[in-house]
Amino acid sequence: MEFEKELKPESELKPLPDPDKLGFGIHFTDHMFIMDYQEGKGWHSPRIVPYQNFSLDPASVVFHYGQAIFEGLKAYKGKDGRIRLFRPRENTKRLNRSAWRMCIPQMDEELVLKAIKEIVKVDSRWVPDQHGTSLYIRPFIIATEAFLGVRPSKEYIFSIILSPVGAYYAEGFNPVKIFVTEKYVRAAKGGVGEAKTAGNYAASLMASEEAKELGFTQVLWLDAAERKYIEEVGTMNIFFLLDDTLVTPALSGSILPGITRDSVIHLAKDWGIKVEERPISINEVMEKAESGQLKECFGSGTAAVISPVGSLYYKGKSYMVNGGKTGELAQRLFDEITGIQYGEKEDKYGWIEFVE
Ligand SMILES: *Cc1c(COP(=O)(O)O)cnc(C)c1O
């Protein structure tokens, strides 16, 4: 399928933002990808157009019942000037899994991947080239039928927007202080925690606002049924190095299956580290912190890659991890994954796809 392209004339292109002040998700590029769905017609009219507003009926399903999903990945420019995507097929697969859960019609994954590559190519001058910076890619689907009944929408828009983002660790790693919340939960088994769906993030805001007010960076989520087993940290997956074993909660239905999580597991196993995907209770972590067996703790996700945890606060007590410093394994994983992303390390696993 060929995409129709309506490109801006050169004279109307936006000035590029200062590469030292990109931040996250503030600036948007010149163009966007759009495709429509109508029942009976399927997905149709894929096109690249100037970045613009949507015009939607106020009764659109997305505004009322939140039938919306998204993805997040990045394009990286290496020293060789080539633009790389990191495991983008995993994002297109996950988009369809989220779509399935939210009763959104399935998409052709090859077409989604092609759309990602083409829109990045059209706006390739926006891929920043300083190490650590990247072009964040946000594919998303919203339900657009004007209808107030509760049933799946019969119309949708799939779109991709792009935002140049700064280095997450411009000043080096800064291990974060985590608040273990017992009051709120992110997702329950049988719910939509596995899906990258809009409402999960709205549901998480109160807990992180309260944690921030208390001086913490993020919250650690426990399971909804018992408030006992660890699930995720903020919007990242979580890992614990207990003695020499790397432990992460098993994908249980309420945890988002992170692509960075999968990459960490893959690399650690390849390096001969024992990896366990299993239920891990907060009590086990606290005991191992007290006995000195908790060597490291870190989050994983596309935005930060690896986010070292410096301390955990639970039931009125603070537990330091690795003296509040970044652990060796966290650093090694960060260096390896970013090395592959920027084309500085060998892509042994075939994780890279080029945009050209
Ligand atoms: C996106 C996301 C992650 C991380 O997934 P990656 O594919 O590694 O970026 C983890 N948890 C939640 C809740 C997420 O939304």
Give the pLDDT score at 55: 97
Structure tokens at 326: 């970044």
Residues ≥6 apart with Cβ < 8 Å to 348: none
Q: Whose CA is nearest to atom 14 of ligand 1?
A: 235
Region at 81 (left for phi over 0; alpha for psi -120 to 50; beta for the rest): left
Ligand 1 pocket member 208 (CB < 6 A):
no
Give the pLDDT score at 13: 98
Cα–Cα distance for residue pair 195/197, rounded to 1 Å: 5
pLDDT digits (tens, 9 = 90+) for 260-288: 999 999 999 999 999 999 999 999 999 99
Average pLDDT of the residues in 148-165: 98
- How close is the Cα of 112 to the center of ligand 1, in Å? 19
pLDDT digits (tens, 9 = 90+) for 316-333: 999 999 999 999 999 999
Share of the chain above pLDDT 90, in %: 96
- How close is the Cα of 176 to the center of ligand 1, in Å? 18
Fold classification of 176-341 is: D-amino Acid Aminotransferase; Chain A, domain 2 (3.20.10)
**Is 90 exceeded by the pLDDT of residue 335?**
yes
The reply to whether 4-165 and 176-341 are identical in fold is no
Half-sphere exposure (CA, 13 Å, Cβ side) for 319? Answer: 24
Give the pLDDT score at 168: 82
Ligand 1 pocket member 303 (CB < 6 A):
no
Going from N- to C-terminal start, the domains of the chain cover: 4-165, 176-341
- Model confidence at 131, in pLDDT bands (50, 70, 90)? confident
**Is 90 exceeded by the pLDDT of residue 204?**
yes
pLDDT digits (tens, 9 = 90+) for 29-78: 999 999 999 999 999 999 999 999 999 999 999 999 999 999 999 999 99
Ligand 1 pocket member 236 (CB < 6 A):
yes
* Beta-ladder partners of 26: none
Q: Whose CA is nearest to atom 12 of ligand 1?
A: 235
Cα–Cα distance for residue pair 48/30, rounded to 1 Å: 10
- How close is the Cα of 195 to the center of ligand 1, in Å? 10
| CATH number of the structural domain 4-165 | 3.30.470.10
**Is 90 exceeded by the pLDDT of residue 198?**
yes
- How close is the Cα of 311 to the center of ligand 1, in Å? 21
Ligand 1 pocket member 137 (CB < 6 A):
no
- Model confidence at 2, in pLDDT bands (50, 70, 90)? confident
**Is 90 exceeded by the pLDDT of residue 199?**
yes
